[in-house]
A and B are shown apart, each in its own frame.
Chain A
Amino acid sequence: MSNRTLTEPGAPPDERTPISSSPRRIKKPSSELWLRNLTIGTVIAALVVLLFIPIGIAFVGSFHDWNPLNGSFDFTGIDNYVELFADATFWRASWNTLVFGILSIVGRVLLGLAIAYALFSKLSRWRTFFRTIFYLPTVMPLVAVAFLWKLMYNPQFGAINTVFGLDINWLFDPRYSLLAIVIMTIWKDFGFAVILFLAGLYAIPEDVLEAASVDGANAWRTFWHIVLPLLRPMLFFVIITSMIGYLQAFVQVLVMTNGGPGTSTQLISFMIYDQAFVKYDFGYASAIAFVLLIATAALTAASWRMNQSALDTPRRGRRVLRRTEGKLS
């Protein structure tokens, strides 16, 4: 028993020296084993019951004509997938998800970066106050914020048209409906990026920036050549979490447009909700969900790879640092 506490083949090589590497082996107290086994057992049980079995059922279900209302669960092979790839709504929803995702991520990242850098600047005042304001929408409940924006876009009395002197029926005009949802999403989410980028900026050693300014680099060059490379890991974090989040977004669509007008605001996740819990076509919805899961996994893996290669960037940043220091001395 005590032998197992030594570095085991199954365990990953540990960063710290294991306790048991000391010559006297301490026998594990029974309370440790008890707590450990209970925890591992509970975690595995939860994973199996709440995730693995459901995923298995969804996978099997996607090959069935599965409707809980009439109780059908009939094997249909790959029919759901065949139907899916011939479904114009699916392609429209995929396109919309792509447009929605890219615009929302770009808006969130650019606005987040710009405002974080402005708050980071020594010229800015009332930093805590502004920071608090910008993060406010992120912590508000999404359903309620979506309702607020539905009212904001109201063609009769909505604040958007009144303030900007426009006459646009935002949510009922297919030319603007998706854009309206993107604007609301950026408004709600960019503050999260502000906080993360600000944390990243404060993590940059002050002397690096001082060295740059002594060196005569202007604000733009400092940002582009020093700050941005050092922020890249954070940038990737924001992009990856946004991507996973936006692929799953559906509440704003449900509240504001219900996928319409036409199919102009159908997103993949909304379509799954709609097929599953409005039309009760569980088999078809499961098939879409699997396609989404695979797309999410592929995109995450691709970004993660890029992130791995981007892990070199702090090193590059440090090289910049060394060069700047070299000039100083």
Chain B
Amino acid sequence: MRARVIALNATLAIFGLIIVLPFFWMILSAFKSNAEIVGFDQSFWPREWTLQNFMSIQTKLDFFRLFANSVLLSVTITALSVYTSLVGGFVFAKYRFRGRGVLFAVILSTMMITWAVVIIPRYTMFRAAGLTDNYASIIIPAVISAFGIFMMRQSMDAVPDEILEAARIDGASEWFIFHRIVAPMSVNAISALSIFVFLWVWEDYLWPYLMISSEELQVLAVGLTTFNGQYSTDYGGLFAATTLAIVPVMIVYIVFQRRFIAGAASAALKG
């Protein structure tokens, strides 16, 4: 029994190391000089710690600006998209109207549509509308989310109709019922959806790459590839830039890991 406990946990530990070591390697390498990175004698720990990589990428590309832009966009889109999903989920869960089932089925089926089919016409349309190089072009397509409406409806279905009826008899407005009664009962779904949307916006590459041309407005994911395209042999810089893109997300994840995991599991169990 004891041997089995050790074997099982050792196996888990090995897989754990396979996950964690690349991240440590990346972070530590970001503090090595370029000469040490490409040198013959490789070591895990930097022989000489340096901040040179972080300082030099900042002069080549304004990474802190890119970072701030990504944060701003991700927060804005998350807030808007979660709110519209709440409203959509509320209407589909709690109101009965003609065509509700059909419309909801249509919304569900759109989740299957590949980005490849819509991105070319969207690109053409947004260019024609003069929305390029403008955050409106990033925000507009992300504001209404089929997945979000679906998830919120699943969550709000669990709120008993009697509560709404009671509030209506007490003279509460629909506005009040939605904001003060139903939405607060969906806190878990809200946190789960917020995490999903935030991560999707944070890592989205192609659409900002197509829409945003000026460097001051660019996002981190695109900045990484721009940097790599221009300084492909600056490995230290690439380690530092990748670290900047990963570590903040990692910290947020470690702090809120319970919420992240509960969100993923609940989305799947209901789906």
Contacts and interface: CB of A to CB of B under 8 A. Distances in A.
Interface string B123-138: 1110100000000000
Q: Interface residues of B toward A: which range? A: 35 or more
A83 to B, nearest CB: 17
Given A47-B110, A143-B245, A251 B205 contact: yes
Contacts of A199: 265-266, 268-269
B121 A35 contact: no
Contacts of B141: 50
B165 interface: yes
Interface string B216-248: 000011001100100000010011011001100
B116 A51 contact: no
Interface in B74-120: 84, 87-88, 91, 95-103, 106-107, 110, 112-120
A48 B264 CA distance: 30
Interface of B: 1, 4-5, 8-9, 11-12, 15-16, 18-23, 25-26, 29, 37-39, 42, 84, 87-88, 91, 95-103, 106-107, 110, 112-125, 127, 140-141, 143-144, 149, 161, 165, 168, 173-175, 178, 195, 199, 202-203, 205-206, 210, 220-221, 224-225, 228, 235, 238-239, 241-242, 245-246, 249-250, 253-254, 257, 260-261, 264-266, 268-269, 271
A276 B69 CA distance: 27
A137 B253 CA distance: 10
A289 B114 contact: yes
B257 A132 contact: yes
Nearest to A56: B121
A61 B228 CA distance: 33
Nearest to A127: B12
Interface string A31-46: 1101110011011101
Interface string A3-43: 01100101110101011100000100101101110011011
Given A50-B141, A237-B268, A143 B203 contact: yes
